[in-house]
Protein backbone atom coordinates (compact mmCIF):
# COMPACT_ATOMS: atom_id res chain seq x y z
CA UNK A 1 0.00 0.00 0.00
CA UNK A 2 1.47 3.34 -1.05
CA UNK A 3 2.04 5.82 1.77
CA UNK A 4 1.06 9.35 0.75
CA UNK A 5 2.02 12.54 2.55
CA UNK A 6 -0.14 15.60 1.86
CA UNK A 7 1.05 19.18 2.30
CA UNK A 8 -1.69 21.74 2.69
CA UNK A 9 -2.74 24.60 4.95
CA UNK A 10 -4.59 22.41 7.45
CA UNK A 11 -2.85 22.05 10.80
CA UNK A 12 -3.89 24.83 13.20
CA UNK A 13 -5.75 26.53 10.36
CA UNK A 14 -8.87 27.93 11.98
CA UNK A 15 -10.62 28.39 8.68
CA UNK A 16 -13.62 26.28 7.67
CA UNK A 17 -12.70 25.73 4.04
CA UNK A 18 -9.03 25.18 4.79
CA UNK A 19 -9.67 22.45 7.33
CA UNK A 20 -12.53 20.82 5.43
CA UNK A 21 -10.55 20.51 2.19
CA UNK A 22 -7.67 18.96 4.14
CA UNK A 23 -9.97 16.41 5.71
CA UNK A 24 -11.59 15.68 2.35
CA UNK A 25 -8.43 14.91 0.38
CA UNK A 26 -7.02 12.50 2.94
CA UNK A 27 -10.45 10.85 3.35
CA UNK A 28 -10.94 10.49 -0.42
CA UNK A 29 -7.49 8.91 -0.83
CA UNK A 30 -8.18 6.44 1.96
CA UNK A 31 -11.47 5.53 0.28
CA UNK A 32 -9.43 4.64 -2.81
CA UNK A 33 -7.26 2.28 -0.77
CA UNK A 34 -4.22 4.45 -0.12
CA UNK A 35 -2.52 5.17 3.18
CA UNK A 36 -2.72 8.96 3.33
CA UNK A 37 -2.24 11.63 5.96
CA UNK A 38 -1.68 15.34 6.23
CA UNK A 39 1.89 16.29 7.10
CA UNK A 40 1.76 18.13 10.40
CA UNK A 41 3.89 21.22 10.04
CA UNK A 42 5.11 24.15 12.11
CA UNK A 43 5.55 26.53 9.20
CA UNK A 44 1.79 27.14 8.86
CA UNK A 45 2.01 30.49 10.66
CA UNK A 46 4.39 32.23 8.25
CA UNK A 47 2.42 34.80 6.26
CA UNK A 48 3.28 37.86 4.22
CA UNK A 49 0.54 39.97 5.79
CA UNK A 50 2.06 42.56 8.09
CA UNK A 51 1.41 42.68 11.82
CA UNK A 52 -0.67 39.49 12.08
CA UNK A 53 2.00 37.62 10.14
CA UNK A 54 4.70 38.95 12.47
CA UNK A 55 2.70 37.90 15.53
CA UNK A 56 2.07 34.44 14.11
CA UNK A 57 5.77 34.07 13.28
CA UNK A 58 6.65 35.04 16.86
CA UNK A 59 4.48 32.26 18.30
CA UNK A 60 5.48 29.67 15.67
CA UNK A 61 6.08 26.30 17.29
CA UNK A 62 4.61 27.30 20.66
CA UNK A 63 1.25 25.56 20.86
CA UNK A 64 0.02 27.38 23.97
CA UNK A 65 0.74 30.88 22.67
CA UNK A 66 -0.58 29.89 19.24
CA UNK A 67 -3.88 28.81 20.76
CA UNK A 68 -4.10 31.93 22.92
CA UNK A 69 -3.46 34.11 19.86
CA UNK A 70 -6.12 32.39 17.79
CA UNK A 71 -8.68 32.46 20.59
CA UNK A 72 -8.06 36.21 20.93
CA UNK A 73 -8.62 36.76 17.21
CA UNK A 74 -11.90 34.87 17.28
CA UNK A 75 -13.12 36.38 20.56
CA UNK A 76 -14.39 33.06 21.86
CA UNK A 77 -12.45 30.01 23.06
CA UNK A 78 -15.43 27.72 22.36
CA UNK A 79 -14.92 28.25 18.63
CA UNK A 80 -11.27 27.25 18.88
CA UNK A 81 -12.13 24.13 20.86
CA UNK A 82 -14.54 22.97 18.14
CA UNK A 83 -11.85 23.43 15.49
CA UNK A 84 -9.41 21.51 17.65
CA UNK A 85 -11.95 18.72 18.10
CA UNK A 86 -12.56 18.47 14.36
CA UNK A 87 -8.84 18.41 13.70
CA UNK A 88 -8.72 15.10 15.59
CA UNK A 89 -10.70 13.35 12.82
CA UNK A 90 -7.97 14.23 10.30
CA UNK A 91 -5.09 11.79 9.93
CA UNK A 92 -1.81 13.60 10.61
CA UNK A 93 1.84 12.63 10.49
CA UNK A 94 4.38 13.65 13.11
CA UNK A 95 5.77 17.18 13.25
CA UNK A 96 8.09 18.62 10.60
CA UNK A 97 9.47 22.09 10.01
CA UNK A 98 11.15 23.63 6.97
CA UNK A 99 14.47 22.09 7.98
CA UNK A 100 13.37 18.60 9.07
CA UNK A 101 10.85 18.06 6.25
CA UNK A 102 13.45 16.14 4.22
CA UNK A 103 13.16 13.36 6.80
CA UNK A 104 9.62 12.77 5.51
CA UNK A 105 11.21 11.06 2.52
CA UNK A 106 11.85 8.06 4.79
CA UNK A 107 8.17 7.76 5.69
CA UNK A 108 6.28 8.42 2.43
CA UNK A 109 6.33 6.94 -1.08
CA UNK A 110 4.46 9.84 -2.64
CA UNK A 111 3.85 13.50 -1.86
CA UNK A 112 0.81 15.57 -2.82
CA UNK A 113 0.77 19.35 -2.52
CA UNK A 114 -2.70 20.81 -2.16
CA UNK A 115 -5.33 21.83 -2.18
CA UNK A 116 -6.11 25.42 -1.20
CA UNK A 117 -3.93 28.48 -1.75
CA UNK A 118 -0.58 26.81 -1.18
CA UNK A 119 0.96 28.72 -4.13
CA UNK A 120 -0.37 32.18 -3.27
CA UNK A 121 2.62 34.56 -2.91
CA UNK A 122 0.38 36.97 -1.01
CA UNK A 123 0.22 34.44 1.83
CA UNK A 124 3.55 32.58 1.60
CA UNK A 125 7.17 33.65 1.26
CA UNK A 126 9.52 31.95 -1.21
CA UNK A 127 10.67 29.39 1.38
CA UNK A 128 7.13 28.19 1.90
CA UNK A 129 6.30 28.26 -1.81
CA UNK A 130 9.24 25.93 -2.40
CA UNK A 131 8.03 23.72 0.43
CA UNK A 132 4.57 23.53 -1.11
CA UNK A 133 6.27 22.89 -4.45
CA UNK A 134 7.70 19.68 -2.92
CA UNK A 135 11.28 20.72 -3.67
CA UNK A 136 12.41 18.87 -0.55
CA UNK A 137 11.29 15.49 -1.96
CA UNK A 138 13.82 12.97 -3.26
CA UNK A 139 14.01 12.35 -6.99
CA UNK A 140 12.63 8.83 -6.66
CA UNK A 141 9.45 10.03 -4.89
CA UNK A 142 6.25 10.68 -6.85
CA UNK A 143 5.44 14.40 -6.60
CA UNK A 144 1.94 15.68 -7.41
CA UNK A 145 0.06 18.92 -7.01
CA UNK A 146 -3.67 18.49 -6.51
CA UNK A 147 -6.06 21.42 -7.08
CA UNK A 148 -3.39 23.89 -6.00
CA UNK A 149 -4.29 27.57 -6.13
CA UNK A 150 -2.12 30.63 -6.82
CA UNK A 151 -4.82 32.96 -5.46
CA UNK A 152 -4.87 35.24 -8.49
CA UNK A 153 -2.76 35.87 -11.57
CA UNK A 154 -1.92 39.36 -10.29
CA UNK A 155 -0.64 37.92 -7.00
CA UNK A 156 1.50 35.34 -8.84
CA UNK A 157 2.87 37.73 -11.45
CA UNK A 158 6.57 38.37 -10.96
CA UNK A 159 7.16 34.92 -9.47
CA UNK A 160 7.36 33.07 -12.79
CA UNK A 161 10.93 31.82 -12.25
CA UNK A 162 10.01 30.28 -8.90
CA UNK A 163 6.87 28.66 -10.32
CA UNK A 164 8.89 27.24 -13.21
CA UNK A 165 11.26 25.68 -10.67
CA UNK A 166 8.28 24.17 -8.85
CA UNK A 167 6.62 22.85 -12.01
CA UNK A 168 9.87 21.31 -13.27
CA UNK A 169 10.08 19.41 -9.99
CA UNK A 170 6.58 17.90 -10.16
CA UNK A 171 5.58 14.70 -11.94
CA UNK A 172 1.88 15.58 -12.27
CA UNK A 173 0.31 19.02 -11.99
CA UNK A 174 -3.27 19.99 -11.28
CA UNK A 175 -4.72 23.30 -10.14
CA UNK A 176 -8.11 24.44 -8.92
CA UNK A 177 -8.89 27.40 -11.18
CA UNK A 178 -8.79 27.99 -14.91
CA UNK A 179 -6.85 31.21 -14.31
CA UNK A 180 -4.12 29.27 -12.49
CA UNK A 181 -3.85 26.83 -15.39
CA UNK A 182 -3.63 29.68 -17.89
CA UNK A 183 -0.89 31.38 -15.87
CA UNK A 184 1.20 28.25 -15.21
CA UNK A 185 0.87 26.31 -18.47
CA UNK A 186 3.27 28.55 -20.45
CA UNK A 187 5.95 27.85 -17.82
CA UNK A 188 6.09 24.08 -18.42
CA UNK A 189 5.79 21.44 -21.12
CA UNK A 190 3.87 19.20 -18.70
CA UNK A 191 0.07 19.36 -18.85
CA UNK A 192 -1.54 21.55 -16.18
CA UNK A 193 -4.99 20.12 -15.44
CA UNK A 194 -7.90 21.68 -13.57
CA UNK A 195 -9.33 19.35 -10.92
CA UNK A 196 -12.06 19.68 -8.31
CA UNK A 197 -11.57 21.15 -4.87
CA UNK A 198 -11.14 18.18 -2.48
CA UNK A 199 -14.45 18.92 -0.74
CA UNK A 200 -16.19 17.90 -3.97
CA UNK A 201 -14.50 14.49 -3.95
CA UNK A 202 -16.83 13.51 -1.10
CA UNK A 203 -20.60 13.21 -1.48
CA UNK A 204 -23.20 14.75 0.82
CA UNK A 205 -23.59 11.30 2.38
CA UNK A 206 -19.86 11.33 3.18
CA UNK A 207 -20.16 14.79 4.71
CA UNK A 208 -23.12 13.69 6.82
CA UNK A 209 -20.62 11.61 8.83
CA UNK A 210 -18.94 14.74 10.20
CA UNK A 211 -21.81 17.26 10.04
CA UNK A 212 -23.03 18.59 13.40
CA UNK A 213 -26.65 19.65 13.02
CA UNK A 214 -27.94 22.78 14.78
CA UNK A 215 -30.65 22.55 17.43
CA UNK A 216 -32.65 25.21 15.61
CA UNK A 217 -35.81 23.72 14.09
CA UNK A 218 -37.52 26.73 12.48
CA UNK A 219 -36.62 27.82 8.94
CA UNK A 220 -33.58 30.08 8.51
CA UNK A 221 -31.18 31.51 5.98
CA UNK A 222 -27.58 30.71 6.73
CA UNK A 223 -24.97 33.41 6.10
CA UNK A 224 -21.19 33.22 6.07
CA UNK A 225 -19.11 36.17 4.86
CA UNK A 226 -15.34 36.41 4.90
CA UNK A 227 -13.34 39.56 5.45
CA UNK A 228 -15.94 42.27 4.85
CA UNK A 229 -15.21 44.85 7.53
CA UNK A 230 -17.44 47.38 5.81
CA UNK A 231 -20.43 45.00 5.67
CA UNK A 232 -20.87 46.14 2.09
CA UNK A 233 -23.63 43.66 1.27
CA UNK A 234 -25.94 44.44 4.19
CA UNK A 235 -28.63 46.18 2.16
CA UNK A 236 -28.71 43.50 -0.53
CA UNK A 237 -28.86 40.79 2.15
CA UNK A 238 -31.68 42.49 4.01
CA UNK A 239 -33.63 42.82 0.77
CA UNK A 240 -33.38 39.07 0.16
CA UNK A 241 -34.36 38.24 3.74
CA UNK A 242 -37.36 40.55 3.60
CA UNK A 243 -38.52 39.07 0.31
CA UNK A 244 -38.07 35.49 1.51
CA UNK A 245 -39.33 36.23 5.04
CA UNK A 246 -36.48 34.30 6.63
CA UNK A 247 -34.40 35.10 9.72
CA UNK A 248 -30.62 34.94 9.24
CA UNK A 249 -28.28 32.71 11.22
CA UNK A 250 -24.69 33.77 10.81
CA UNK A 251 -21.25 32.37 11.66
CA UNK A 252 -18.52 34.95 12.15
CA UNK A 253 -15.27 34.48 10.24
CA UNK A 254 -11.87 34.30 11.96
CA UNK A 255 -11.66 38.11 12.16
CA UNK A 256 -15.05 38.34 13.84
CA UNK A 257 -16.64 39.84 10.73
CA UNK A 258 -20.30 39.19 9.97
CA UNK A 259 -23.25 41.01 8.38
CA UNK A 260 -24.93 43.53 10.68
CA UNK A 261 -28.36 42.32 9.64
CA UNK A 262 -28.13 38.89 11.30
CA UNK A 263 -30.78 37.60 13.71
CA UNK A 264 -28.52 35.01 15.32
CA UNK A 265 -24.73 35.05 15.65
CA UNK A 266 -22.94 31.74 16.10
CA UNK A 267 -19.51 31.90 17.75
CA UNK A 268 -18.98 28.29 18.88
CA UNK A 269 -18.94 26.62 15.46
CA UNK A 270 -16.24 24.37 14.10
CA UNK A 271 -16.06 22.77 10.63
CA UNK A 272 -18.65 20.13 11.56
CA UNK A 273 -21.12 22.81 12.65
CA UNK A 274 -20.39 24.81 9.50
CA UNK A 275 -21.45 21.82 7.37
CA UNK A 276 -24.45 21.14 9.60
CA UNK A 277 -25.80 24.68 9.39
CA UNK A 278 -25.66 24.54 5.60
CA UNK A 279 -27.25 21.07 5.49
CA UNK A 280 -30.26 22.28 7.50
CA UNK A 281 -30.58 25.76 5.96
CA UNK A 282 -33.52 26.84 3.81
CA UNK A 283 -31.22 29.19 1.90
CA UNK A 284 -27.51 30.09 1.96
CA UNK A 285 -26.02 33.56 1.49
CA UNK A 286 -22.23 33.76 1.26
CA UNK A 287 -19.12 35.19 -0.34
CA UNK A 288 -17.19 32.05 0.58
CA UNK A 289 -16.10 29.51 -2.04
CA UNK A 290 -16.66 26.61 0.32
CA UNK A 291 -19.94 28.05 1.53
CA UNK A 292 -21.04 27.88 -2.09
CA UNK A 293 -19.63 24.37 -2.63
CA UNK A 294 -21.45 22.87 0.36
CA UNK A 295 -24.65 24.60 -0.72
CA UNK A 296 -24.37 22.75 -4.03
CA UNK A 297 -23.45 19.43 -2.41
CA UNK A 298 -26.57 19.69 -0.21
CA UNK A 299 -28.75 21.02 -3.06
CA UNK A 300 -29.62 24.27 -1.29
CA UNK A 301 -30.99 27.47 -2.79
CA UNK A 302 -28.07 29.89 -2.51
CA UNK A 303 -26.74 33.27 -3.53
CA UNK A 304 -23.04 34.03 -3.68
CA UNK A 305 -21.54 37.52 -3.51
CA UNK A 306 -18.20 38.81 -4.73
CA UNK A 307 -15.68 39.10 -1.92
CA UNK A 308 -13.24 41.38 -3.78
CA UNK A 309 -13.16 43.74 -6.72
CA UNK A 310 -12.09 41.87 -9.84
CA UNK A 311 -9.05 44.16 -10.25
CA UNK A 312 -7.92 43.58 -6.66
CA UNK A 313 -4.55 41.79 -6.50
CA UNK A 314 -5.93 39.62 -3.70
CA UNK A 315 -9.17 38.85 -5.57
CA UNK A 316 -10.45 35.30 -5.15
CA UNK A 317 -13.49 35.75 -7.34
CA UNK A 318 -12.22 33.52 -10.16
CA UNK A 319 -12.60 30.33 -8.15
CA UNK A 320 -16.25 31.23 -7.55
CA UNK A 321 -17.02 32.26 -11.13
CA UNK A 322 -15.23 29.19 -12.55
CA UNK A 323 -17.25 26.85 -10.35
CA UNK A 324 -20.56 28.51 -11.19
CA UNK A 325 -19.80 28.46 -14.93
CA UNK A 326 -18.92 24.76 -14.91
CA UNK A 327 -22.31 23.96 -13.38
CA UNK A 328 -24.37 26.45 -15.37
CA UNK A 329 -25.13 28.45 -12.22
CA UNK A 330 -23.84 31.87 -13.27
CA UNK A 331 -27.18 33.43 -12.33
CA UNK A 332 -26.56 32.64 -8.62
CA UNK A 333 -23.85 35.32 -8.49
CA UNK A 334 -25.03 38.63 -7.05
CA UNK A 335 -23.19 41.63 -8.45
CA UNK A 336 -22.10 44.42 -6.11
CA UNK A 337 -25.04 46.69 -5.39
CA UNK A 338 -27.54 44.40 -7.13
CA UNK A 339 -31.00 43.94 -5.63
CA UNK A 340 -32.58 40.68 -6.79
CA UNK A 341 -36.05 40.82 -8.27
CA UNK A 342 -38.83 38.62 -6.92
CA UNK A 343 -38.80 36.65 -10.15
CA UNK A 344 -35.11 35.90 -9.85
CA UNK A 345 -35.36 35.10 -6.15
CA UNK A 346 -37.91 32.40 -6.93
CA UNK A 347 -35.91 30.77 -9.74
CA UNK A 348 -35.23 27.14 -8.82
CA UNK A 349 -31.90 25.44 -9.39
CA UNK A 350 -31.96 22.43 -11.71
CA UNK A 351 -30.17 20.17 -9.28
CA UNK A 352 -30.72 17.06 -11.38
CA UNK A 353 -28.38 18.56 -13.99
CA UNK A 354 -26.06 20.12 -11.42
CA UNK A 355 -25.66 16.83 -9.53
CA UNK A 356 -24.78 15.03 -12.75
CA UNK A 357 -22.12 17.62 -13.58
CA UNK A 358 -20.72 17.47 -10.05
CA UNK A 359 -20.50 13.68 -10.24
CA UNK A 360 -18.67 13.91 -13.58
CA UNK A 361 -16.21 16.40 -12.09
CA UNK A 362 -15.74 14.17 -9.04
CA UNK A 363 -15.07 11.05 -11.13
CA UNK A 364 -12.68 12.88 -13.47
CA UNK A 365 -10.70 14.28 -10.55
CA UNK A 366 -10.48 10.98 -8.66
CA UNK A 367 -9.39 9.14 -11.80
CA UNK A 368 -6.77 11.79 -12.56
CA UNK A 369 -5.44 11.54 -9.02
CA UNK A 370 -5.27 7.73 -9.07
CA UNK A 371 -3.43 7.79 -12.38
CA UNK A 372 -0.97 10.39 -11.07
CA UNK A 373 -0.22 8.21 -8.04
CA UNK A 374 -0.04 4.82 -9.78
CA UNK A 375 1.24 5.53 -13.30
CA UNK A 376 4.54 3.82 -14.09
47-61 as b/e: b if 16+ CB within 10 A = beeeeeeebbeebee
Sorted by sequence, the CB contacts under 8 Å of residue 358 that are 6+ apart come out as 200, 296, 297, 327
Alpha-carbon Rg for the chain in angstroms: 20
Instruction: Work out the mean pLDDT of the chain and round it to a whole number.
Output: 85
Contact 82, 269 (CB under 8 A): yes
pLDDT over threshold 80, residue 22? yes
One DSSP character per residue, 115-164 reads SBSTT-TTT--HHHHHHHTTTTS-TTSEEEEEEE--S-HHHHTT-HHHHH
3-state SS record for 77-92: HHHHHHHHHHHCCCCE
Q: Distances from the Cα of 195 to the Cαs of 169, 199, 318, 329, in angstroms?
A: 19, 11, 14, 18
Nearest in space to 119 (alpha carbons), one of 65, 62, 180: 180
Residue pLDDT, tens place only, 128-182: 899 999 999 999 999 999 999 998 788 888 999 999 999 999 999 999 999 999 9
Residue pLDDT, tens place only, 300-349: 999 998 876 555 555 567 789 999 999 999 999 988 777 888 888 889 99
Residue pLDDT, tens place only, 262-301: 577 787 889 999 999 999 999 999 989 999 999 999 999 9
Amino acid sequence: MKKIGILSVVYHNWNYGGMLQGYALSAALREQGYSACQIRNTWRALYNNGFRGAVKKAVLGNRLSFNIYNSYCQNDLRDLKRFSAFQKVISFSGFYNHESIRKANKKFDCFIAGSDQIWNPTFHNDTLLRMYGLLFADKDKRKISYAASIGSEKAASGHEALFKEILDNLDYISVRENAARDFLQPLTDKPVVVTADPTILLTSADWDKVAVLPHRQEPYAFAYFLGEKDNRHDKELQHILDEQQLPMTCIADELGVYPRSQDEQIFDAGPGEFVGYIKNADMVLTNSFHGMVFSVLYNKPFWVFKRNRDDDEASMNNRITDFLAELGLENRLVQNGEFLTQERLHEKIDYATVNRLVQEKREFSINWLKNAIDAE
